[in-house]
Amino acid sequence: MLDGKRVLITGAARGIGAACALELAAQGAAVLIVDIDDEEVNTRADALKRSGYAVEAATVDVTDAEQIQALAARVEERWQGQLDVLVNNAAILDGTSLDELTRERFLQVQDVNQNSVLWMTLAMRPFLRRSNAARVVNVASILGVVGTPDCVSYASAKGGVINMTRALAVDLADDGILVNSICPGFVDTRMALLPDGSGHEHETDWFKDIYIKYGRIPLKRAAQPADIARALAFFCGDGCGYVTGQYLMVDGGVSSTM
């Protein structure tokens, strides 16, 4: 349980981040959810508050240094400068082919999906240091360890997050901050919508055949956001007192069939 813990989650207006907010709040934490989507993050926080959870919202672009500083000032004021858990979850999907990839797009994906993990962690480090059980959990991806067509920007960033997790775990150990990452496989969020607007990846014939019927996903279903949230909660709690620098695949076994 996470009674009395103070938790900050980025990219939590919807999808996996929102499921993490619900899971950690249900375990007793006070949760600050952060997202670039002002309307959706406030609607999400209001709904969770109405259900009796201690959840607040902040509108922040995690690539913007000034907005991160303003968020740090809010954490300092609101929680007397103490933070127990930071979940770096915000990201964007990118399926640009090599032929169409521009320098600007590649750098943008690195900025949102990887660089923000570093800048958010450094901004919250003074507050995490004051916790007696500080945790950082980075949401990476199965695409941080394998490739697939048209994913060089996204996969590079997620691979970077996995090794940044290791490097930060080493550097922050003396501060008592444990750093781990989680790698979802196929999850039913808006990231599973096909980029050309033609439908949902999990409803396609190829997904149903290869991944479900022929068992490329041994557990024979895509994940729900709550599947990821429950696994992530392990890294936030007391059960994870001697684990740092690791990544956990939460993918229904798909990485074991490759």
Nearer to ligand NAD, 16 or 55 (CB): 16
The answer for residues whose C-beta is within 8 angstroms of residue 44's C-beta and 6 or more apart is: 12, 13, 14, 18, 21, 33, 35, 55, 57
Considering the rule CB under 6 A, would residue 36 count as an interface residue with ligand NAD? Answer: yes
Rounded CA Rg of the chain: 18
The answer for residues whose C-beta is within 8 angstroms of residue 153's C-beta and 6 or more apart is: 94, 96, 101, 105, 106, 109, 110
Considering the rule CB under 6 A, would residue 159 count as an interface residue with ligand NAD? Answer: no
Considering the rule CB under 6 A, would residue 252 count as an interface residue with ligand NAD? Answer: no
Considering the rule CB under 6 A, would residue 31 count as an interface residue with ligand NAD? Answer: no
Footprint (CB under 6 A) of ligand NAD, residues 76-115 = 89-92, 112
* 8 A C-beta contact, residue 105 and residue 127: no
Footprint (CB under 6 A) of ligand NAD, residues 119-158 = 139, 141
Choosing from 154, 211, 214, 247, which is the catalytic residue? Answer: 154
Binding span for ligand NAD by CB under 6 A among 6-14, 96-104, 172-180, 235-243: 6-14
Q: How far is CA 43 from CA 13, 29, 46, in A?
A: 8, 19, 5
Q: Is 154 a catalytic residue?
A: yes
Q: For residues 140 and 127, give the distance between their C-alpha atoms in angstroms, rounded to a whole number.
A: 23
Cβ 3 to ligand NAD shortest distance, Å: 26
Nearer to ligand NAD, 107 or 173 (CB): 107
Binding span for ligand NAD by CB under 6 A among 11-19, 24-32, 101-109, 162-170: 11-19
* 8 A C-beta contact, residue 164 and residue 114: yes
Angle between helices 15-26 and 38-50 (to 10 degrees): 30
Binding site for ligand NAD (CB under 6 A): 10-11, 13-17, 35-37, 60-63, 89-92, 112, 139, 141, 184, 186-187, 189-192
